[in-house]
């Protein structure tokens, strides 16, 4: 095992994770996500359906630009609180957050840690090249998820609501700075290409601004050290397993080729591995058998990104979401979660791999 090579690949990715987490935490502390939720409620003008569709849009954008963990950790409590204030079905908004956090994480490299790993293995690096490969599957997964949510919660989408008085923002100028920084991240990722540089600049702007005007928001707890250490250990363990024959076993199971059935086979294996273990080790284990073509690598991403909707440990985002639900007093039935996931995941895998194979 070449630790220097492994560190060279992992280091920039973990640096991005730290920087984007700082951006998300400070944006949340300044009230960016609460402002977005309030804005969606005003735009919906009392219609539950319109409100939900706007929350869907916010969840997709937050996942694509700030990563799935941002949607799970920061957006979830905001939309749950909003639903509670408006006396709406909080479970509708809870499922919207967690499902889209996973299934909408195929759009950009920054949307999911697995995407950043895959980016280093694609022949044409950069955000535009990545998007050109993933957009058919990303759109398919997002549309299928929204349709499924509408069917499962069709009764909760009926009716209207009355919006209360607007809250007072503690740091209005810094709040708008946070809005601007978050809004510019997506275009900057595409234009600049280097996600670490862009996220580091965004984090630096907000840290300096908060150091001047909102120092209480700066604390060591916003740095995701546990996640960084855990991911580093996973990298080493999976690499050791590959060095001792794991690739041969998985290569036989994953098959070869880029036909629709072969892509579905690989995506299904990725989803199975994610729900049995977790999506990150599942990706790391299967990556070597998906490197023979870019479309196979994207099929693996479909499995490990959109597939972890059955077991609570299938993705870190789901575990973080569950903790936020508990804090908000929302009880999650894991039996119901699994049953709904068992219905949704096969449809996601079939439609996304069809899009990859024929679009």
pLDDT digits (tens, 9 = 90+) for 98-115: 999 999 999 998 899 899
Phi-psi region of 167 (alpha: psi -120 to 50; beta: other; left: phi over 0): beta
**Spatial CA neighbour of 109 closest among 98, 96, 122:** 122
Q: Does the pLDDT at position 292 exceed 70?
A: yes
Q: Is the pLDDT of residue 243 over 70?
A: no
**110 or 268: which carries more pLDDT confidence?**
268
Q: Is residue 266 within 8 Å of residue 286, measured between CB atoms?
A: yes
Phi-psi region of 356 (alpha: psi -120 to 50; beta: other; left: phi over 0): alpha
Phi, psi values for residue 301, rounded to 5°: -60, -40
pLDDT (0 to 100) of residue 6: 63
Q: Nearest Cα to 314, choosing from 67, 119, 99?
A: 99
For residue 106, give the H/E element and its range. Answer: none
What is the pLDDT at residue 297? Answer: 94
Distance CA(24)–CA(70), nearest Å, equals 6
Contacts of 21 (CB under 8 A, 6+ apart): 69, 222, 223, 224, 227
- Does residue 51 register a pLDDT over 90? yes
In this structure, is the dihedral angle defined by the CA atoms of residues 257, 119, 299 and 270, taken in order, positive or negative?
positive
Higher pLDDT, 129 or 7: 129
Label residue 44 by pLDDT band (50, 70, 90). Answer: confident
Overall pTM > 0.85:
no
What pLDDT was estimated at residue 28? 80
**Does 304 score more than 60 pLDDT?**
yes
């Amino acid at each position: 095992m070449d630790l220097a090579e492994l560190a060279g690949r992992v280091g920039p990715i973990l640096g991005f994770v730290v920087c984007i987490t700082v951006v998300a935490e400070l944006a949340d502390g300044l009230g960016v996500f609460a402002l977005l939720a309030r804005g969606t409620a005003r735009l919906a003008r009392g219609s539950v359906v319109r409100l939900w569709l706007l929350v869907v849009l916010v969840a997709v954008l937050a996942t694509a630009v700030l990563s799935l963990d941002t949607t799970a950790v920061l957006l979830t409590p905001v939309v749950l609180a909003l639903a509670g204030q408006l006396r709406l079905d909080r479970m509708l908004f809870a499922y919207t957050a967690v499902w889209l956090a996973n299934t909408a994480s195929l759009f950009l490299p920054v949307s999911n840690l697995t995407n950043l790993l895959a980016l280093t293995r694609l022949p044409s690096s950069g955000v535009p090249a990545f998007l050109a490969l993933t957009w058919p599957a990303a759109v398919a997964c997002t549309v299928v998820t929204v349709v499924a949510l509408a069917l499962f919660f069709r009764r909760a989408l009926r009716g209207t609501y009355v919006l209360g008085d607007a809250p007072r923002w503690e740091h209005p100028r810094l709040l708008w700075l946070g809005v601007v920084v978050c809004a510019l991240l997506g275009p900057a990722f595409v234009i600049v290409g280097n996600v670490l540089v862009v996220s580091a600049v965004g984090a630096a702007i907000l840290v300096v601004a908060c150091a001047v005007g909102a120092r209480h928001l700066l604390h060591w707890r916003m740095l995701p050290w546990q996640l960084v250490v855990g991911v580093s250990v996973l990298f080493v363990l999976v690499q050791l397993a590959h060095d001792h024959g794991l690739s041969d076993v998985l290569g036989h199971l994953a098959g070869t080729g880029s036909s629709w059935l072969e892509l579905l086979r690989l995506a299904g294996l990725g989803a199975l591995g994610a729900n049995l273990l977790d999506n990150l080790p599942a990706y790391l284990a299967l990556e070597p058998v998906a490197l023979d073509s870019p479309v196979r690598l994207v099929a693996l991403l479909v499995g490990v990104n959109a597939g972890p909707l059955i077991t609570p440990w299938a993705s870190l985002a789901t575990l973080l979401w569950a903790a936020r639900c508990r804090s908000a007093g929302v009880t999650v039935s894991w039996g119901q979660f699994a049953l709904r996931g068992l219905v949704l995941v096969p449809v996601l895998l079939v439609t996304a791999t069809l899009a990859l194979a024929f679009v």
